[in-house]
Each structure stands twice: as structure tokens, then as C-alpha cells.
Amino acid sequence: MIDWMEKAVPQTAALYPYVPGKVLEQLLREKGLTRAVKLASNENPYGPSPKAIAALQQAAVGVHRYPDADATELKEALACFHQLDKEQVIVGNGSNEVLELLIRTFAGHGDEVIYSQRGFIVYSLATQAAGATGVVVPEADGLSHDLDAMAKAVNAATKVICIANPNNPTGTLHRVARLQSFLDQLRRDLLVIIDEAYYEFVAAELGDSVRLLKHPGLVISRTFSKAYGLAGCRVGYALTDAAIAALVNRFREPFNVSSLAQLAAVAALQDGAWVQARVADCVAERTRLEAALQTFGLYAAKSNGNFVLLRHSRAAAIAAQLENRGIIPRPLAPYTMPDYLRISVGTVEENNLFLAALSELMDSIR
Ligand SMILES: Cc1ncc(COP(=O)(O)O)c(C=O)c1O
């Protein structure tokens, strides 16, 4: 028998596949249920803008052609939206791909990538896949990126720093003024990624982060998967220095964003009113869920994303019981947070089902 692990690149041994939220159909099958609600992947439960759906329908007839390899229209729309040059925009198969491309372009064997212990897990996976060394900085308060400690962790081998703001799964946020003072402490030749996958949920509170791009080496990544409701299309982007974008482009697959995704993203971007209305719906429901968690004694911390955090010493039992009742939460053991569950904010009806299930099971948990 051939030992293929021995043949694979050395970093394979330490890698493990990303664990996504449980698939709804799988839970229905496993539990013999007729109805289930997935609150595990921070999607937009309302779906995308009707304009994006119309664009997808129109684009469907052209899928026998390859997409525009440079995603010209999408990059132009994003450049115009952010008042930057098209050359400063990187697009990817979800912002996940953009993050991986950035890390792969700038870090390899012998290089260090700094991220927070409970920061978004893809930074660690992408670092390991690139053969680079991850430097894990614990959160000062258990939840929030410790920016001072991250700045202190920089050494001659450091190439990249990754910050999720707001962070998934902890939901914490640093405002622009704090980010600026962090950047001011750093060497100028580092790639600093500020991952703003949940930007739309904190736009007013965060401040104008795009102006931070004056800092050399700064990258801001965003996605169409969350507020814009296009998670299934897989389209995300980053804004940075044109020279950095050009280097990343060398690692990119030629047709990494599908024609459907490109057109849907342009249409979604142009329907700002729709996105704002859905974000307002989500924030109102998040407030309601956090208040309910408080009454159950399960509230962990304020979230700035489209999800809430539940904390209990028997979080795993709560997760199992929620699943028995057709609710899929996200356990956070992979983030060294076994006492926590992350619950994505659903529609009013979905959240009611979650709260009813929680209320029912709490007697058996206490
Ligand atoms: C903080 C953060 N960054 C990036 C992503 C990747 O999202 P996508 O690849 O769908 O753009 C996610 C997804 O959950 C996330 O939570």
C-alpha cells in the first residue's frame, strides 16, 4: 500500500478540512424530521436582492461561455463604489479565496503569519496550507483581538497579520481610530489584512475603514456572502495597493469568479437600499435574540455580526438538544470555545422556532 501522506507536501499532516455548519438535509435524514432551521453559517436568511436574482436568471443563458477572467464590470463597480482604482480590487471565489491567495502570495516556509487565537479559522488553515508558521495571539478578554499583543508579536520573520473585524465567531469590533493607532505601531512592510466580512452590520459604528488604506500593505476584504445574501454564488473581494493586487493576480486561477457570481454581485451592489433594509431587520432580530439569551442566563457578549453568542458549561448538550428539535447551531469547540454556541440570526419565524426550542430544553439543562 502506498502511503500517500508521505508523498504529500509536509504541511498536509497538520492540516484538517474546514468544518462547515451541518447540512440541513443531513439533519432531516438523521433525525427523521420534516422541518429544520439552519442557524450555523451566518447567511442572510432573507436571500439576495430581487435585482440580483433577476441578474442570475438573465446570466443563466450565457453559462456555456467562460466568465470575464478579469471580472472587469464587477471590479469597476467596486472601484466606483469605494472611490478607488479598479487595479486596487481583488475578486475571488468568496472572500475565503481572496484571503488564501493573499497569504499564499506573501507567506511561505520560514515566514510567520500572526492571527488571534479565536480569530476566523481560515487564517490558520491558509497559513498551514502555505507552509508558513502561524503565530497565535490570545485575546486579552477571551473574545476581542489583543491588538497591542499582536503588534508585539511582530518579528523579522513576520509577513502577514490577519484581523477579523467584526470577528467571527466572537463578534467583537475595533473601531477605525483604534485600528489606525495599531497600524501606526507596525513596520511598514507587513501585509495587514482587515477582514470585514460583516462590515455592513457595523458600517456606522466602525467608521470609514477604507481611508485606512493610506497605510502601505493594508488589505480590506469584504464579501457578498453575508449582508448581500449571495453565499451560494461564492464572491468576495479585497481592496489594497495596486502593486499588491497585481502580485496576488499571479496566483489566481484564470476564471475564479463565475459569470453568474460576477453579474449577481454587480446587481446586488447597486441595490443598496435593499441591503440596508435587510441589515436593519437582522440587527433588530439580533437585539431580540440577545435579550432572550439574557433572560435564559445564556448571554455571552454583544455581537457585531449577524449572529449571537450563547454560553453555558453544557453548550454541547444544548447543541444536541437543539438539533433534536430541528435547529442547527454552530458549536465553537474548534475555536477552543467549548462552552459557546454561535447562532446565526434567522428570519423572525426561524428565530421564534429557535427560542421556543431553547425554552423547551432549558429545564433539562439547568
Ligand atoms: C470573518 C469571515 N471572513 C471571511 C469569511 C468567508 O466568507 P466567504 O468566503 O463566503 O466570502 C467568513 C465566512 O463565514 C467570515 O466569517
Which amino acid residue places its CA nearest to atom 6 of ligand 1? 96
Give dist(CA 239, CA 213) in Å, integer: 8
Domain around 27: 19-47+273-365
Within-domain flag for 14: no
Closest ligand 1 atom number to CA of residue 236: 11
- The confidence band for 18, taking pLDDT boundaries of 50, 70 and 90, is confident
So what's the pLDDT on residue 133?
97
The answer to whether residue 229 scores a pLDDT higher than 90 is: yes
Look-up of cell digits 439547568: 366
- The confidence band for 213, taking pLDDT boundaries of 50, 70 and 90, is very high
* pLDDT 10s digits, 180-204: 999 999 999 999 999 999 999 999 9
Q: Which of 18, 78, 170, 195 to mutate to test the pocket of ligand 1 (most atoms within 8 A of CB)?
A: 195
The answer to whether residue 248 scores a pLDDT higher than 90 is: yes
CA of 95 to the centre of ligand 1 (A): 6
Whether residues 170 and 214 fall in one domain: yes
Q: How many alpha carbons fall within 13 Å on the CB side of residue 90? A: 33
CA of 224 to the centre of ligand 1 (A): 9
**Coil, strand or helix: which one is 21?**
coil
CA of 96 to the centre of ligand 1 (A): 6
**Coil, strand or helix: which one is 236?**
strand
At residue 88, φ and ψ (nearest 5 deg) are: -90, 0
Whether residues 198 and 346 fall in one domain: no
CA of 41 to the centre of ligand 1 (A): 9
Whether residues 40 and 62 fall in one domain: no
How does DSSP classify residue 23? P
The answer to whether residue 366 scores a pLDDT higher than 80 is: no
Q: Which of 39, 41, 122, 303 to mutate to test the pocket of ligand 1 (most atoms within 8 A of CB)?
A: 122
Closest ligand 1 atom number to CA of residue 167: 1
Please, which residues have CB within 8 angstroms of residue 8's CB and are 6 or more apart in sequence? Answer: none
Look-up of cell digits 489594497: 240
Whether residues 218 and 120 fall in one domain: yes
Within-domain flag for 41: yes
CA of 84 to the centre of ligand 1 (A): 23
Give dist(CA 220, CA 167) in Å, integer: 14
Give dist(CA 220, CA 239) in Å, integer: 5
The answer to whether residue 132 scores a pLDDT higher than 90 is: yes
Average pLDDT over residues 352-356: 98
Ligand 1 pocket, CB under 6 A:
42, 94-96, 120, 164, 168, 195, 197, 223, 225, 231, 236
- From 249, 270, 291, the end of a domain falls on 270
Whether residues 107 and 71 fall in one domain: yes
The answer to whether residue 256 scores a pLDDT higher than 80 is: yes
Q: What is the pTM of this model?
A: 0.97
Which amino acid residue places its CA nearest to atom 13 of ligand 1? 197
Whether residues 223 and 356 fall in one domain: no
Q: How many alpha carbons fall within 13 Å on the CB side of residue 26? A: 7
Give dist(CA 116, CA 121) in Å, integer: 9
Whether residues 284 and 342 fall in one domain: yes
How many domains, in total, are found in the chain?
2
Whether residues 145 and 278 fall in one domain: no
Give dist(CA 188, CA 207) in Å, integer: 23
